[in-house]
Amino acid sequence: MRTVTLSAGRRLSQSDLNRTGALPEEVMAAAEKIVDDVRERGDAAVRECCLRFDRACPTSFRVPDELVAGALELVPPEFLAALTRARDQIRSFHEREREQSWFTTRADGTLLGVQVTPVASAAVYVPGGRAQYPSTVLMDTIPAKVAGVGRVVMLTPPQSDGTLSAYTLAAAALAGVDEVYAVGGAQAVAAAAYGTETIPAVEKIVGPGNAYVAAAKRYVSGDVGIDMVAGPSEVCVLADATADPVVVAADLMAQAEHDPMASCYLVTCDDELPGRVLGAVERLVAQSPREDVTRASLDERGVVVVAEDLGAAVDAVNVIAPEHLELHCEDALGLVGRIRNAGAIFVGAWSSEPLGDYVAGPNHTLPTGGTARFSSPLGVYDFQKRSSVICYTPEGLLADAEATQTLAQAEGLWAHALSVGLRRRLAEGGEAVTEGAHRVAWPEDLPAPAGVPLPGLGGRG
């Protein structure tokens, strides 16, 4: 892990973090080509992509419902019990996120408010192939169901032998997925966005995936909704002298073993802690069955930040804006209010990040790559839409008409002012259409706005 020392008032910068940044141009170009092909040729293009990239393609993309339900009988009882516990706690947490419609009435009878409705359909993408993620099925499906989405489909690639994991299918059955399609990659995103002969289109696509999935989601965004463009996993551990270096080492490794591209950050104001943590990493990583992946991540993407004091360390964390943040500090709970940028905050030494991955309840689909500066975890709100509701009475119209007409005139929008002015005449007991009726749409003429001279430009002809 590379060390960055912050001294003499130096602040952490983005260049210190060794992040990969935007999706590579070649990945975007390849994903766009796949999406365009699927949009044009439908199932045939999807099938070609599945055979080319996954080396497996079922006769029918739709997984029969009986196979999904039957997976519950194929998994060990202890797994099903754990999955059920996770489902119940995830649902309990997300039910508190559900937004409700609301309305308010002014004294003049004008009614204003917000009507909240779910999207009609959503696709959850679940990575497959080399690894299985039944936890992601729960995390992405349950908020959609709590929001009231009527049709939730799951997209997941088959394994090279043409099978799907019983663990993943059991999670789909337990979470209430309505349809399962054995297709992955950019082609799955394209099919969900635009529809094919056998895969109906959806209104929103969520869930993590590889770089090609992320690129495809970015490309179709705007035609359909997406949750985020997810990058490699990240963890940041903020630790002081009270932290257990072995536990911190294990927590860094827990993220590093995901992917060689995963980013791991240790931020501390204790000069001796990094050495103890890195020594523990060396002892532990040799025991890991994923040693190669873990070492690659820590060696290439790991950063240790040594700050002058706790305030500077917290400032560094907010610059990193990590996906996962662990607080291994004496007063961990007292620091929460000082954290502005983090996808999920794990408070205290007992709050292992894997608890959040699986069973705690908050969502594990989180903003990566520093996007926690402006993004949030996946939640029920991602599957709900808000419509403004505006209902005026004649009295309310008269109260707001003049201001509306004045602003319309300032913007030079004649018919805007006319629309309100005609109603104003009616509310005052007159007739809407009379000779010269357009004249009443305008208040007294506004003077031309004075120009505001800009430095270096003002006053020039």
Residues with a known catalytic role: 323-324
CA atoms within 13 A on the CB side of 162: 6
CA dist., res. 186 & res. 417, Å (int): 48
The SS3 assignment for 225 reads: strand
Contact 184, 151 (CB under 8 A): no
Measure Cα distances from 317 to 299, 323, 324, 369 in Å.
20, 11, 11, 13
Q: Each residue of 219-253: b (16+ CB within 10 Å) or e?
A: bbeeebbbbbbbbbbbbbbbbbeebebebbbbbbb
Q: Are strands 179-181 and 234-239 parallel, antiparallel or unpaired?
A: unpaired
Determine the distance from the C-alpha atom of residue 431 to the mean position of all C-alpha atoms in its chain, rounded to a whole number: 53
Longest Cα–Cα distance in the chain: 91
Torsion 356-362-367-372 (CA) sign: negative
CA dist., res. 363 & res. 343, Å (int): 10
Return the DSSP state at 63: P
Closest CA to 115 of 384, 355, 338, 366: 384
Query: Which tokens in the block code for residue 352?
Result: 């292992």
Query: Which tokens in the block code for residue 366?
Result: 């989180």
CA dist., res. 406 & res. 114, Å (int): 27
CA dist., res. 327 & res. 346, Å (int): 6
CA dist., res. 313 & res. 266, Å (int): 10
Taking residue 18's Cβ as centre, other Cβ atoms within 10 Å add up to: 14
Query: Which tokens in the block code for residue 55?
Result: 């080396």
Place of tokens 């997941």: 156
